[in-house]
Amino acid sequence: MSRIIGVEQSLSNIEDALKAKGYEVIQLRNEEDAKKCDACIITGQDRDVMGISDPVMAGPVIDADGLSANDVIQRVEKYFH
């Protein structure tokens, strides 16, 4: 089963890296998008605006601020494996 990872629009480098690892990636635009995801990658600045700080999903919300694409992938894989 493919994991669905939501990624904020400004994180295209992380989106590309996740796709290269075989994850299904969708862009996060609102709370409804987050509900479809197994994990969400955000910049941190929009956490409350998008409603992601509330438990709208069971998976992790990873703040990518200050992290490389590799760091984010390691956190995603650690959660799912």
Structure tokens given for 13: 């480098």
C-alpha angle 76-9-63 in degrees, rounded to nearest 5: 40
Instruction: Determine the pLDDT at residue 55.
Output: 58
Instruction: Determine the pLDDT at residue 58.
Output: 72
pLDDT digit string (tens) for the chain, length 81 residues:
579 999 999 999 999 999 999 999 999 988 889 889 999 999 876 555 455 555 566 788 899 999 999 999 999 999 988
Instruction: Determine the pLDDT at residue 62.
Output: 92
* Residue 47 to residue 17: CA distance in whole angstroms: 22
